[in-house]
Amino acid sequence: MIADSVIRDLRALLPSAAVLTADEDTAVYESDGLSAYRCRPGAVVLPETETQVIAILRLCHAAGVPVIARGSGTGLSGGALPREDSVLLGLAKLNKILHLDPLARSARVQPGVRNLAISGEAAAYGLYYAPDPSSQIACSIGGNVAENSGGVHCLKYGLTVHNVLGVRAVTIDGEILQLGGDCLDSPGYDLLALLHGSEGMLAVITEITVKLLPKPEHAQVILAAFDSVETAGAAVGAIIAGGILPAGLEMMDRPAIHAAEAFIHANYPLDAAAILLVEVDGTTEEMAEDLRCVHDILAANGATSARTAVDDTERLRFWAGRKNAFPAVGRLSPDYYCMDGTIPRRALPAVLYGIEVLSEEYGLRVANVFHAGDGNLHPLILYDANIPGELHKTEQLGARILELCVQYGGTITGEHGVGMEKIDQMCVQFRALELAAFHGIKAAFDPAGLLNPGKAVPTLQRCAELGAMHVHAGQLSHPHLPRF
Amino acid sequence: MQTLVDQVKDAYLARRMLQIRGGGSKDWYGNAAQGSVIDVSGHSGIVEYAPAELVLTAKAGTRLAEIETVLAANNQMLSFEPPHYGDSATLGGTLACGFSGARRPYSGSARDAVLGVQILDGRGDLLNFGGKVIKNVAGYDISRLTVGALGTLGIILQASVKVVPRPAATVTLQYELDQAASIVRMNELAGQPLPLTAAAWINGVLSLRLEGNAAAVLAAQAKLGGDILDHAADFWLAAREHTAPFFAGETPLWRLSVPPTVPPLDLPGKQAVTWGGAQRWLKSATPAASIYAAAARIGGHAALYRGARPQTGVFHALPAAVMALHRRLKTQFDPHGILNRGRLYSDF
Ligand SMILES: Cc1cc2nc3c(=O)[nH]c(=O)nc-3n(C[C@H](O)[C@H](O)[C@H](O)COP(=O)(O)OP(=O)(O)OC[C@H]3O[C@@H](n4cnc5c(N)ncnc54)[C@H](O)[C@@H]3O)c2cc1C
């Protein structure tokens, strides 16, 4: 689907092994972590330098060929889903840690570096890179910036956007943008923040300067059980209102507990309706005091049991249950689908109840894991793709769950991004005016719309056809102005 | 609010320029804007605040002081410790300027704290971005883009910010130490697991603030030694509000944002260091061009805070590609260029 002349020009730019067009070679790239969506790209290019990235972008720009950036392909919203008429730009070979400055506590790295590799390199200096998506052994730092990824420690340590000092990015016409760098801010608009979560639609990130933090001396985790999700939710609120900002604060409901226990044998209480994992960290003294406070609050807020892991082995086992919740649930059913909404925490009981009702309505089981500290809910829908129509039903149920999150004042995606998956729910969350502003941002960076086209922001026409647009077309002010 | 909307819609149709004003406490900041004043100070009040959610939503004209009082009553605070520069300081103005105080390197900036905004763009359209939840990646992050944009992309009408628990204990330790050694020390300590929440060097003295639970603060204090500063809150307030003696006098005051480990600036004048080395204050009559050049050489940037504005404007010039992008973004939000024209850069 890409003109032969373009492929020929790409081959002239890159070593032959770096341009893939044969079906068996491009098949590896046909989906990201959301494998229900697949498409073979017209070509895959695997540059090793920024100079090559620039040349590829210039060429595609001149030829009018769409370009889709890809890091490690662990994205869960179809952000790196190819198109037949597109070049898939794989950045995994740009995988060098260019510079690490222990005194300034920063590292300059290429986009294909794996998240965990940065902490690995920084460990020698007692430092680490804080955001820790569960996919951190595989996902790339470039992908993390493009999705503004979170992790189980982001309530205390922030998301990717809070832990990046600068990026170098290349626009579709081959222009280099240096946004931020080694300082804590930069003059003009905060384009560094804007690139976070931009899902490869604005520019291709070729270098990232991340902030490194001192590794906490110690970390300890409490496992608390509750006989209802309401009580567990209220206890989370009480811990936070009590002035403690735990390093991690995770909740799992009964189906998720059972799945994790069967898989990992983490010693989770099987009779509980919900469990909380509360991690506190810091110096020995700091941690001891916080642990005491958390135990007091849990006891006063209806925990049926609460115990601190006896040693590091048990602490890691408690976490292993949570961190493997997705694959654990995956064992219960041929397929599962992971949703990613955020809600104000106080709405948790109502939303979980709503999910239960929907789960019955659709006849599909749902297990819930929850970054409880920051309100980010991951309902996992269990289904069987081999049953005709079941994937479609699953997607419908997922969409209803996200709409529920919006209805309770939340959002359709906390950390996985919109990608291809949630494009229709964007019409529910935003009005035409905001969507038009998003298209305006896109046009300012990429007027021809060649970078990752069709993702993240729906066209107004798409929303209108869905009938989901909150504002009728007639209410758009200044209809004579171009809206994209 | 309707009157604000009508004012902007009228101005848009008439292509009349508007200068946005909250409490007026930061009129001195940035370049001079053109046009008649649109006053946002009446659009005020806390809209929603549930301490257990760690989120506060307020209208832009709400005084910072009011917000801080309400938070303190619930043992919480703004994570970015913003300077007020006057009693009339508002939330909207603070975010538009993107000001953050001493805590910034350790717990984040004003833009880091912002979760959502409602803005009035240059066509008079009300737009809502982000939300009231801590994690949200739906759509481009326009909320954070408006922070520090000095109103040039839209009038901030309302904002939701993440708030944090107030630390139970605090102590400030001081050391007589020269500037170069202090800069190294601040950076070394920031790389250790200590409850550091501020580090500054002013008038030959290194000051370190430790905060957290009482046990943590005591342990860190024992480890670091130094002289305990009485009335530490007043000290940090004076440093933040520029009422400390260092900031007095008619000599122009420059702010340089630099890589935190760079040695003392090679420029004439007096220097102070905040943000653990990443922010340098310079009282100097040196020509603007030399200061911008010196900042650029060390990988930083400079802005004039107080003093006669240079012809070229008070902010550091942007690389051409980045400036071109600024202009295109400005056009998207404010096609007639009526909002705070000239306040950030003379081009728009
Ligand atoms: C088991 C599992 C657990 C997960 N857990 C978490 C979690 O806890 N928290 C979380 O936030 N996410 C999680 N994720 C989702 C995913 O890992 C993250 O979104 C991650 O940041 C994606 O990185 P990647 O390198 O795989 O990006 P990809 O999937 O390759 O790409 C993601 C998006 O980024 C764009 N992109 C990639 N690289 C660049 C670049 N250099 N420049 C511009 N655009 C680029 C792509 O076009 C695409 O839109 C999980 C995924 C899995 C499979």
Residue in A with minimal Cα distance to B323: A188
Check CB contact under 8 Å for A282 and B212. Answer: yes
Check CB contact under 8 Å for A243 and B75. Answer: yes
Average pLDDT over residues B81-103: 98
Instruction: Encode chain A in three state secondary structure.
Output: CCCHHHHHHHHHHCCHHHEECCHHHHHHHCCCCCCCCCCCCCEEECCCCHHHHHHHHHHHHHHCCCEEEECCCCCCCCCCCCCCCCEEEECCCCCCEEEEECCCCEEEECCCCEHHHHHHHHHHHCEECCCCCCCCCCCEHHHHHHHCCCCCCHHHHCCHHHCEEEEEEECCCCCEEEEECCCCCCCCCCHHHHHCCCCCCCCEEEEEEEECEECCCEEEEEEEEECCHHHHHHHHHHHHHCCCCCCEEEEEEHHHHHHHHHHHCCCCCCCCCEEEEEEEEECHHHHHHHHHHHHHHHHHCCCCEEEECCCHHHHHHHHHHHHCHHHHHHCCCCEEEECCEECCHHHHHHHHHHHHHHHHHHCCCEEEEEEHHHCEEEEEEEECCCCCCHHHHHHHHHHHHHHHHHHCCCECCCCCCCCCCCCCCHHHHCCHHHHHHHHHHHHHHCCCCCECCCCCCCCHHHHHHHCCCCCCHHHCCCCCCCCC
| Residue reference for tokens 């603070």 | B94
Min Cα separation B28/chain A (Å) = 17
Give pLDDT tens digits for A272-295.
Answer: 999 999 999 988 888 999 999 999
We report the CATH number of the domain holding residue A207 as 3.30.465.10
C-alpha of residue A197 to centroid of ligand 1, in Å: 10
C-alpha of residue A68 to centroid of ligand 1, in Å: 13
Average pLDDT over residues B194-201: 97
Give pLDDT tens digits for B319-347.
Answer: 999 999 999 999 999 999 999 999 999 98
Average pLDDT over residues B265-285: 98
Q: Are residues A405 and A436 in the same domain?
A: no
The answer to whether residues B260 and B275 touch, using CB atoms and an 8 Å cutoff, is yes
**Among the atoms of ligand 1, which is closest to the Cα of residue A149?**
11
Pocket around ligand 1 at a 6 A CB cut-off? A 32-33, 68-76, 79-80, 91, 111, 133-135, 139-140, 142-144, 146-147, 149-151, 199-200, 204-205, 326, 415-416, 452
Facing B132 at nearest CB: one of A216, A241, A344: A344
Check CB contact under 8 Å for A245 and B164. Answer: yes
- Residues 6 or more apart in contact with residue A198 via CB below 8 angstroms: A146, A456, B140, B141
pTM for this predicted structure: 0.96
Structural domain of residue A26, as residue ranges? 4-90
Q: Which of A99-103, A221-225, A323-327, B51-55 bottoms out in mean pLDDT, i.e. has the lowest?
A: A323-327
User: Which of chain B's residues have a Cβ under 8 Å away from the Cβ of A460?
Assistant: none
| Residue reference for tokens 């639970």 | B213
Q: What percent of chain B has pLDDT over 90?
A: 98
Q: Which of A55-59, A275-279, A323-327, A388-392 bottoms out in mean pLDDT, i.e. has the lowest?
A: A323-327
Strands of B74-233 (E only): list them.
Answer: 76-78, 114-120, 126-130, 155-165, 169-176, 196-202, 205-212, 227-228
Domain B2-166+323-333 belongs to what topology? 3.30.465
Residue nearest to atom 11 of ligand 1 (CA): A149
Instruction: Retrieve residue A484's tokens.
Output: 């994209």
**Among the atoms of ligand 1, which is closest to the Cα of residue A456?**
49
Q: Map out the domains of chain B as residue ranges.
A: 2-166+323-333, 169-241, 248-306
**Among the atoms of ligand 1, which is closest to the Cα of residue A79?**
49
Count of all residues that appear for chain A in the document: 484
User: Which of chain B's residues have a Cβ under 8 Å away from the Cβ of A197?
Assistant: 137, 140-141
User: Which of chain B's residues have a Cβ under 8 Å away from the Cβ of A288?
Assistant: 215
Please determine, for residue A478, whether its predicted confidence score (pLDDT) is greater than 80: no
Average pLDDT over residues A229-239: 92
Check CB contact under 8 Å for A441 and B212. Answer: no
Please determine, for residue A468, whether its predicted confidence score (pLDDT) is greater than 80: no
Q: What percent of chain B has pLDDT over 70?
A: 100
Facing A184 at nearest CB: one of B191, B257, B328: B257
Residue in B with minimal Cα distance to A128: B191
Please determine, for residue A472, whether its predicted confidence score (pLDDT) is greater than 70: no
State the pLDDT at residue A323: 86
Q: Where a domain ends, among A90, A110, A128?
A: A90
Q: Are residues A140 and A225 in the same domain?
A: no
Q: Are residues A119 and A244 in the same domain?
A: no
**Among the atoms of ligand 1, which is closest to the Cα of residue A145?**
21
A348-362 vs A229-241: helix crossing angle, rounded to 10: 150
Give the Å distances, CA to CA, from A416 to A44, A89, A145, A292, A458: 24, 20, 12, 34, 17
We report the CATH number of the domain holding residue A14 as 3.30.43.10
Q: What percent of chain A has pLDDT over 90?
A: 88
State the pLDDT at residue B20: 98
User: Which of chain A's residues have a Cβ under 8 Å away from the Cβ of B319?
Assistant: 178
State the pLDDT at residue A477: 39
State the pLDDT at residue A1: 82
Residue in A with minimal Cα distance to B55: A344
Please determine, for residue A221, whether its predicted confidence score (pLDDT) is greater than 90: yes
Please determine, for residue A471, whether its predicted confidence score (pLDDT) is greater than 70: no
State the pLDDT at residue A137: 93
Q: What percent of chain A has pLDDT over 70?
A: 96
Please determine, for residue A7, whether its predicted confidence score (pLDDT) is greater than 80: yes
| Overall domain count for chain A | 4
State the pLDDT at residue A98: 98
Mutate to test the pocket of ligand 1, among A139, A163, A201, A326 (most ligand atoms within 8 A of CB): A139
Q: Which of A354-363, A459-468, B53-62, B180-189 bottoms out in mean pLDDT, i.e. has the lowest?
A: A459-468
Mutate to test the pocket of ligand 1, among A135, A451, A455 (most ligand atoms within 8 A of CB): A135
Q: Where a domain ends, among A74, A90, A106?
A: A90
What ipTM goes with this model?
0.98
Min Cα separation B135/chain A (Å) = 5
Residue nearest to atom 2 of ligand 1 (CA): A135
Average pLDDT over residues A336-351: 92
Q: Are residues A320 and A177 in the same domain?
A: no
Check CB contact under 8 Å for A184 and B109. Answer: yes
Distance CA(A102)–CA(A83), nearest Å, equals 42
Which candidate in B136, B297, B326 is best for mutational testing of the A interface (most A CBs within 10 A)? B136
Check CB contact under 8 Å for B188 and A103. Answer: yes
- Residues 6 or more apart in contact with residue A12 via CB below 8 angstroms: none
State the pLDDT at residue A392: 93
Which candidate in A164, A376, A411, A426 is best for mutational testing of the B interface (most B CBs within 10 A)? A411
Average pLDDT over residues B197-215: 97
**Among the atoms of ligand 1, which is closest to the Cα of residue A132?**
8
Q: Are residues A40 and A178 in the same domain?
A: no
Output the average pLDDT for chain A. Answer: 93
Distance CA(A153)–CA(B14), nearest Å, equals 51
Residue in A with minimal Cα distance to B190: A214
Q: Are residues A242 and A334 in the same domain?
A: yes
Give pLDDT tens digits for A417-453.
Answer: 999 999 999 999 999 999 999 999 999 999 999 999 9
Please determine, for residue A484, whether its predicted confidence score (pLDDT) is greater than 60: no
* Pairing of β A248-253 and β A366-371: antiparallel
Please determine, for residue A476, whether its predicted confidence score (pLDDT) is greater than 70: no
State the pLDDT at residue A479: 39
Min Cα separation A279/chain B (Å) = 16
Please determine, for residue A118, whether its predicted confidence score (pLDDT) is greater than 50: yes
Q: Where a domain ends, among A422, A443, A462?
A: A422
Average pLDDT over residues A241-269: 94
Average pLDDT over residues B216-232: 96
pLDDT band at A187 (very low <50, low <70, confident <90, very high): very high
Q: Are residues A295 and A393 in the same domain?
A: yes
Give pLDDT tens digits for B289-310.
Answer: 999 999 999 999 999 999 999 8
Distance CA(B67)–CA(B161), nearest Å, equals 11
Facing A430 at nearest CB: one of B124, B139, B316: B139
Closest C-alpha among A324, A325, A297, A292 to residue A308:
A292
- CATH fit for domain B169-241, picks 3.30.70, 2.30.29, 3.40.50, 2.60.40: 3.30.70
Average pLDDT over residues A213-228: 96
